[in-house]
Amino acid sequence: MSVLVSAYQSVLRGLEQMSLVIAGIVLLGMGGIMTASVLGKELFLRPVPDDLLMVGLLNVAVIVLPLAYVERTRGHIAVSVTTDWLPPRALGALRAFGAFAMAIFFGGIGFMVSLRMPGEIAKGAYYDGALQIPTWPMKAIFGFGILLLVLRLLSSIAAGVTTAITGRDEDPSLSEGAH
């Protein structure tokens, strides 16, 4: 069983790293689009068509793809004034509960967005603009990012429950140097 968990963690870690790199590349691409649009407007009086729409859509990837990595490294904004006083078992239970609530919330959103994709692909739905950009690719990326987050949250739930039972925080994502 330990080998299976280790393989799961390894694959998930690889997917999180890949998503983080892709989000960085997309962020650079967004900067390139805006730079090209400004230069095009100033030098040739022609900006990149649908530049703001493209940057807005690419923003989805920049935001959602790193979420699983942020969860793995516990990089979310947290106020821990009162929880710092709690024993490890209570912290583990709270972490498991928080991860469970996040998985339900984000998983529900990702599920609902993903349900709409087949219909949009079949209809050929697109955003109004010169380039008629289809609606489904960013929804697919959103769904993938949320799926990764939910998979990481399941791992966080398991780690929180283990800590709540044993009293030891043996979260491999932190003890192995996730940064």
Per-residue pLDDT, 144:
97
In a domain, 80, yes or no: no
Write out the residue range of the structural domain in which residue 19 sits: 2-75+85-175
Contacts of 95 (CB under 8 A, 6+ apart): 156, 159, 160, 163
Q: Per the structure block, which two tokens stand in for 141?
A: 């990326």
The answer to whether residues 52 and 74 touch, using CB atoms and an 8 Å cutoff, is no
Per-residue pLDDT, 171:
61
**Total count of domains within the chain:** 1
pLDDT in tens, 145-170: 999 999 999 999 999 999 999 988 87
Per-residue pLDDT, 92:
93
**Phi/psi class of residue 111: alpha, beta or left (left: φ > 0; alpha: ψ in -120 to 50)?**
alpha
1 band by pLDDT with thresholds 50, 70 and 90: low
C-alpha span between 177 and 179 (Å, rounded): 5
Per-residue pLDDT, 175:
42
134 beta partners = 126
In a domain, 66, yes or no: yes
**Phi/psi class of residue 74: alpha, beta or left (left: φ > 0; alpha: ψ in -120 to 50)?**
left
pLDDT in tens, 66-84: 999 999 998 888 777 888 8
Per-residue pLDDT, 81:
82
In a domain, 96, yes or no: yes
In a domain, 55, yes or no: yes
